[in-house]
Amino acid sequence: MEIFKELHTLTGDGKYVFPGIRSGRPISDMTINRALQSMGYDTKEEMTGHGFRAMARTLIAEELHYPPEVIEHQLAHRVSDPLGTAYNRTKYLKDRKAMMQTWADYCDKIKTGAAVIQFPAAV
Protein backbone atom coordinates (compact mmCIF):
# COMPACT_ATOMS: atom_id res chain seq x y z
CA MET A 1 0.00 0.00 0.00
CA GLU A 2 2.91 2.34 0.66
CA ILE A 3 4.02 2.02 -2.96
CA PHE A 4 0.49 2.83 -4.19
CA LYS A 5 0.31 5.84 -1.89
CA GLU A 6 3.60 7.07 -3.30
CA LEU A 7 2.40 6.49 -6.86
CA HIS A 8 -0.77 8.41 -6.08
CA THR A 9 1.32 11.55 -5.62
CA LEU A 10 2.49 11.09 -9.21
CA THR A 11 -0.74 9.92 -10.87
CA GLY A 12 -3.32 11.81 -8.80
CA ASP A 13 -6.91 10.72 -8.76
CA GLY A 14 -6.80 9.09 -12.18
CA LYS A 15 -8.51 5.83 -13.00
CA TYR A 16 -5.24 3.94 -13.56
CA VAL A 17 -2.16 3.34 -11.44
CA PHE A 18 -0.05 3.53 -14.61
CA PRO A 19 -1.88 5.90 -16.97
CA GLY A 20 -0.95 6.37 -20.60
CA ILE A 21 0.41 9.77 -21.62
CA ARG A 22 -2.41 11.00 -23.87
CA SER A 23 -5.11 8.42 -24.22
CA GLY A 24 -6.91 8.32 -20.86
CA ARG A 25 -6.09 4.61 -20.88
CA PRO A 26 -3.47 2.57 -19.03
CA ILE A 27 0.06 2.31 -20.38
CA SER A 28 0.39 -0.05 -23.32
CA ASP A 29 2.30 -3.31 -23.73
CA MET A 30 4.69 -1.39 -25.95
CA THR A 31 5.51 1.02 -23.10
CA ILE A 32 6.32 -1.90 -20.83
CA ASN A 33 8.36 -3.61 -23.53
CA ARG A 34 10.34 -0.41 -24.14
CA ALA A 35 11.10 -0.23 -20.41
CA LEU A 36 12.28 -3.85 -20.48
CA GLN A 37 14.46 -3.08 -23.51
CA SER A 38 16.00 -0.12 -21.70
CA MET A 39 16.97 -2.56 -18.92
CA GLY A 40 18.70 -4.80 -21.46
CA TYR A 41 16.03 -7.44 -22.11
CA ASP A 42 15.44 -8.70 -25.63
CA THR A 43 11.65 -8.55 -25.90
CA LYS A 44 11.70 -10.86 -28.93
CA GLU A 45 13.66 -13.66 -27.27
CA GLU A 46 13.68 -13.23 -23.47
CA MET A 47 10.65 -11.55 -21.89
CA THR A 48 7.77 -9.25 -22.72
CA GLY A 49 5.40 -7.29 -20.55
CA HIS A 50 2.63 -9.76 -21.31
CA GLY A 51 5.05 -12.58 -20.55
CA PHE A 52 4.98 -11.60 -16.88
CA ARG A 53 1.22 -12.26 -16.84
CA ALA A 54 1.73 -15.65 -18.48
CA MET A 55 4.52 -16.52 -16.06
CA ALA A 56 2.41 -15.51 -13.06
CA ARG A 57 -0.60 -17.46 -14.40
CA THR A 58 1.52 -20.59 -14.78
CA LEU A 59 3.39 -20.40 -11.47
CA ILE A 60 0.37 -19.45 -9.37
CA ALA A 61 -1.42 -22.53 -10.70
CA GLU A 62 1.50 -24.99 -10.65
CA GLU A 63 3.47 -23.88 -7.61
CA LEU A 64 0.92 -22.12 -5.40
CA HIS A 65 -2.07 -24.33 -6.32
CA TYR A 66 -4.75 -21.65 -6.58
CA PRO A 67 -7.92 -22.54 -8.48
CA PRO A 68 -8.08 -21.40 -12.11
CA GLU A 69 -11.22 -19.32 -11.62
CA VAL A 70 -9.53 -17.18 -8.95
CA ILE A 71 -6.44 -16.67 -11.11
CA GLU A 72 -8.50 -15.85 -14.20
CA HIS A 73 -10.55 -13.26 -12.30
CA GLN A 74 -7.33 -11.61 -11.13
CA LEU A 75 -6.07 -11.44 -14.70
CA ALA A 76 -9.42 -9.97 -15.81
CA HIS A 77 -10.06 -12.92 -18.10
CA ARG A 78 -13.53 -14.14 -18.89
CA VAL A 79 -14.20 -17.20 -16.76
CA SER A 80 -16.23 -19.91 -18.44
CA ASP A 81 -19.16 -20.95 -16.32
CA PRO A 82 -21.93 -23.46 -17.04
CA LEU A 83 -24.51 -20.91 -15.84
CA GLY A 84 -23.02 -18.15 -17.94
CA THR A 85 -21.98 -14.68 -16.97
CA ALA A 86 -25.60 -13.58 -16.75
CA TYR A 87 -25.91 -15.38 -13.40
CA ASN A 88 -22.34 -15.54 -12.17
CA ARG A 89 -21.42 -12.43 -10.20
CA THR A 90 -18.46 -13.90 -8.34
CA LYS A 91 -15.39 -11.76 -7.77
CA TYR A 92 -13.39 -13.94 -5.31
CA LEU A 93 -11.99 -10.77 -3.73
CA LYS A 94 -10.84 -12.40 -0.46
CA ASP A 95 -9.26 -15.30 -2.34
CA ARG A 96 -7.60 -12.95 -4.81
CA LYS A 97 -6.16 -10.80 -2.02
CA ALA A 98 -4.71 -13.89 -0.32
CA MET A 99 -3.42 -15.19 -3.65
CA MET A 100 -1.64 -11.94 -4.48
CA GLN A 101 0.01 -11.87 -1.05
CA THR A 102 1.12 -15.48 -1.52
CA TRP A 103 2.45 -14.54 -4.98
CA ALA A 104 4.36 -11.57 -3.52
CA ASP A 105 5.84 -13.80 -0.81
CA TYR A 106 6.81 -16.38 -3.46
CA CYS A 107 8.54 -13.70 -5.55
CA ASP A 108 10.33 -12.38 -2.45
CA LYS A 109 11.62 -15.89 -1.70
CA ILE A 110 13.02 -16.19 -5.21
CA LYS A 111 14.59 -12.75 -4.96
CA THR A 112 16.32 -13.57 -1.68
CA GLY A 113 17.65 -16.92 -2.91
CA ALA A 114 15.09 -19.64 -2.39
CA ALA A 115 16.32 -23.20 -2.64
CA VAL A 116 16.93 -24.19 -6.26
CA ILE A 117 16.46 -27.81 -7.25
CA GLN A 118 19.23 -29.12 -9.48
CA PHE A 119 18.09 -31.53 -12.17
CA PRO A 120 20.39 -34.38 -13.14
CA ALA A 121 22.20 -33.96 -16.45
CA ALA A 122 20.55 -35.63 -19.42
CA VAL A 123 22.24 -38.83 -20.57
- 122 is a domain residue: no
Q: What is the 3-state secondary structure (H, E, C) of 23-87?
A: CCCECCHHHHHHHHHHCCCCCCCCCCHHHHHHHHHHHHHHCCCCCHHHHHHHCCCCCCCCCCCCC
State which amino acid sits at residue 60: I
88 and 53 part of one domain: yes
Range of the domain at 61: 48-113
Both 56 and 20 in one domain: the answer is: no
* pLDDT of the residue at 62: 95
Residues 8 and 27 both lie in one domain: yes
User: pLDDT value at position 17?
Assistant: 83
* Dihedral in degrees, nearest 10, Cα atoms 73, 53, 25, 39: 160
Rounded to whole angstroms, the Cα distance separating 30 from 49 reads 8
Are 61 and 37 within one domain?
no
In the chain, which residues have pLDDT < 70? 81-86, 115-119, 121-123
Do 13 and 42 belong together in one domain? yes
| 33 domain-assigned | yes
Same domain, 66 and 91: yes
Do 57 and 14 lie in one domain? The reply is no
Domain co-membership, 72 together with 98: yes
On whether residue 118 sits in a domain, the answer given is no
Q: Are residues 105 and 61 in the same domain?
A: yes
pTM over 0.85: no
Q: Is residue 121 part of a domain?
A: no
Per the CB < 8 A criterion, the answer to whether 53 and 61 are in contact is no
Report how far apart, in Å, the C-alpha atoms of 72 and of each of 52, 69, 95 are.
14, 5, 12
Domain count across the chain: 2
